[in-house]
């Protein structure tokens, strides 16, 4: 418990706070509802679990030790977030717009974790600070990944659920304009925060 309580607390705080995954899930909940966003949520958790395992095994520290790898990760992550922010400028919430778009797939969400700077920071920080001190090492890594992912999935589900709840209000122009502006600012801030 001395190891698991701090790990669980870190996993909860880092998973529930705003970041690229949570912003994307809120948008997915609005566009497609909670049920159609489930593959997106599961892809995040599985992809993040793989990233956690890689970082806990020490590879994440090697990636972060190479300045060019850090820069490439930041450029890719911030470029994608700025693209998302731009896409939100003219969001329409009607049946025609919904049918013209598809939710992010399981594989797409899993692959995005390797471009997500917040996911890398969470994985490296968690692996270096909260990896359980149990033997064999593979068991410690497995327990670490299971605990983190078990907490991560419900946390990110809250964001998709919030988006699904907001969906009913966004047919009204005033709500839609306010929401789109807020989401654009949050997404752009996430892209800029990568460099701070």
Mean pLDDT throughout 64-90? Answer: 73
Residue with tokens 């304009």: 177
* pTM for the structure as a whole: 0.76
Q: For residue 47, which phi and psi values (nearest 5 degrees)?
A: -60, -40
Q: Tens digits of per-residue pLDDT, 127-137?
A: 777 777 777 87
The region of weakest confidence among 7-11, 91-95, 114-118, 143-147 is 91-95
Q: Any idea of the CA torsion for 71, 75, 76, 77, to the nearest 10 degrees?
A: 100
Closest to 60 measured CA to CA, from 6, 128, 118 = 128
Mean pLDDT throughout 21-31? Answer: 87
Average pLDDT of every residue of the chain: 81
Q: Are 94 and 172 in contact (CB under 8 A)?
A: no
């Amino acid at each position: 418990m001395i190891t698991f309580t701090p790990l669980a607390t870190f996993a909860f705080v880092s998973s529930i706070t705003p970041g690229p995954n949570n912003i994307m899930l809120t948008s997915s909940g609005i566009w497609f509802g909670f049920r159609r966003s489930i593959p997106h949520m599961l892809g995040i958790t599985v992809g993040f679990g793989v990233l956690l395992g890689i970082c806990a095994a020490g590879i994440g520290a090697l990636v972060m030790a190479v300045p060019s790898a850090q820069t490439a990760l930041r450029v890719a992550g911030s470029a994608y977030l700025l693209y998302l922010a731009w896409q939100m400028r003219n969001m329409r919430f009607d049946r025609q717009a919904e049918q013209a778009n598809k939710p992010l797939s399981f594989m797409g969400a899993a692959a995005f974790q390797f471009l997500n700077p917040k996911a890398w920071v969470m994985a490296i920080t968690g692996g270096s600070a909260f990896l359980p001190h149990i033997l064999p090492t593979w068991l410690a890594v497995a327990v670490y990944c299971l605990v983190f992912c078990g907490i991560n999935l419900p946390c990110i589900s809250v964001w998709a659920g919030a988006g699904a709840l907001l969906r009913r209000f966004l047919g009204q122009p005033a709500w839609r304009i306010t929401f789109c502006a807020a989401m654009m600012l949050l997404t752009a801030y996430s892209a800029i925060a990568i460099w701070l």
